[in-house]
Structure 1
Amino acid sequence: MEIALIAHDKKKDDMVRFVTAYKHIFQEHHLFATGTTGKRITEATGMSVHRFQSGPYGGDQEIGALIAKNLLDLVIFFRDPLTAQPHEPDVSALMRLCDVYSVPLATNMGTAEVLIRGLEKGDISWRSIIRGEIQ
């Protein structure tokens, strides 16, 4: 599966802890992330993460483009709902694209845990059918 990981500044520590806790699951998949989030995950876990630009510099849009091409299967985006984001329209567009293309999206650790456990059990394998990998 292709998984995008994004975290606002005040949520980056949470993302690193989350990925570290579920490293045994994440290491079986391809990871994509916005700039600093990807760097922090790689430094903490040693896992390979394809890094895009930082979110405010277009990273959210780069991930959105993969969603629009149906190339991502799961998005975990730890948002900070208490801090105004200068790129909020990009954030909203990313979430809208997840809805348009039926890409599972978690915006908090509780939902992310449910999705990652589902991924571990194979509950998200239907995404492979959508991408045409299973005949």
Structure 2
Amino acid sequence: MRIGLAANTRHHDHNDAALFHWLKDCHQGIRELDIHLHAVGRTYDAIVREGWLAEYPGLVRYPYGHEGGLMKLVAEVVGLPESGRVLDGAIYLMNPVTPSSTFPEAVALKRQCVIHHKPFISTVASARDWIEAERMHKGLAPDPGADALYALETQTIALIAHDAMKPQMMAYASDHFDLLSRFARRVGTGTTGQQLNELAWSRGWPEDKLWVHRYQSGPMGGDAQIADLVLERRCQRAIFFEDPHVARQHEADIQLLERAVTTVTDAAVCVTSPRVATRWAEAARRRASLRTG
């Protein structure tokens, strides 16, 4: 498995930075899964400087960002048939208060991951969660260090979908209804929330009880309301099915939610693709059966 890796300076400029929190928790899983990390210049340099993944052949250096390193990750997410260089996804630990997160290559990296149904991982919690999910798919024993991430009964999950993606969200919720019902609370925006409630009632959920607590529609501020929950650490997961092919009139609101997630990088998991969300759900189900079996 080949994964692009980049981290904003804030996340690797000292030995207690976010990138190293992730490597401390996941360096063994990275080796177990034989993940090749294709790291952009300064991110690679920081990993070597701090002594992580020493002598690990799967750590590969790419050019610095200003030399096109991040652009190369975008191209390889799409795939370069003539060279065979294809990435299976990307981890980009962003600093939400610097302009770098809105640079064209940063936006394109996320967009191409979504288009090609590959994981785009923008927080430490998401990266930790992804490693554990992949470990479950490989048949490895659950890592007790990841138990808190999978304590769904204590968590709130946001379920959000753009108009073109609402059918996929309904299908996803139907396929994984029992798993999603384990969460302490589910929240959503506008129409998506209503449709999810109607689905739940059709599945036997009590009709006098909401399955999803509805906020405003996205254009009317629902994304901002859920962003506030994330910032207050009252929403731990967001499944946000984005449509990358249309212009979005409320782009600023969507960016607000994305920035909230990256602001609490150690506490919020975000998934933006139905295929990636399905893979996580399957892993969560397997993990639960192993922990209770």
Q: Tell me how far apart the structure 2 counterparts of residues 62 and 82 of structure 1 sit (CA, whole Å).
A: 25
In the alignment, is residue 33 of structure 1 matched against residue 191 of structure 2?
no
Of 269, 280, 292, the residue aligned with 1:104 is 269
Equivalent runs, 1:38-117 vs 2, <5 Å: 38-46=193-201, 47=205, 48-102=211-265, 103-117=268-282
Q: Which moved more, 1:95-104 or 1:73-82?
A: 95-104
Q: What percentage of residue pairs aligned between the two structures are identical? A: 33
RMSD over equivalenced CA pairs, Å: 1.4
Corresponding residue SS for 2:186: strand
Q: Tell me how far apart the structure 2 counterparts of residues 62 and 12 of structure 1 sit (CA, whole Å).
A: 20
- Which whole-Å deviations, capped at 9, do the CAs of 1:62-104 have from their partners, x for residues lacking one? 0000001011111000011001111111111211211221211
- Which whole-Å deviations, capped at 9, do the CAs of 1:35-78 have from their partners, x for residues lacking one? 10010111122251100000000000000000010111110000
| Higher alpha-carbon Rg | 2
Q: Tell me how far apart the structure 1 counterparts of residues 167 and 180 of structure 2 sit (CA, whole Å).
A: 17
TM-score (norm. length: structure 2): 0.40
Structure 2 residue aligned with 1:5:
159
Residue 119 of structure 1 and its aligned partner are, at CA, apart by 4.1
Gaps of at least 5 residues in structure 2 are 1-154, 206-210, 289-293
Corresponding residue SS for 1:39: helix
Of 24, 27, 30, the residue aligned with 2:178 is 24
Counterpart of 2:249, as a letter, is P
Q: Tell me how far apart the structure 1 counterparts of residues 276 and 194 of structure 2 sit (CA, whole Å).
A: 23
Gaps of at least 5 residues in structure 1 are 123-135
Distance change in 2, residues 1:99/1:114 (3 Å) = farther
State whether residues 106 and 115 of structure 1, in contact with CA within 8 Å, keep that contact through their aligned partners in structure 2.
Answer: no
Greater relative contact order: 1 or 2 (C-alpha under 8 angstroms, separation 6 or more)? Answer: 1
Residue 117 of structure 1 and its aligned partner are, at CA, apart by 3.5
Structure 2 residue aligned with 1:127:
none
State whether residues 60 and 91 of structure 1, in contact with CA within 8 Å, keep that contact through their aligned partners in structure 2.
Answer: yes
Q: Tell me how far apart the structure 2 counterparts of residues 93 and 115 of structure 1 sit (CA, whole Å).
A: 24
Residue 112 of structure 1 and its aligned partner are, at CA, apart by 1.2
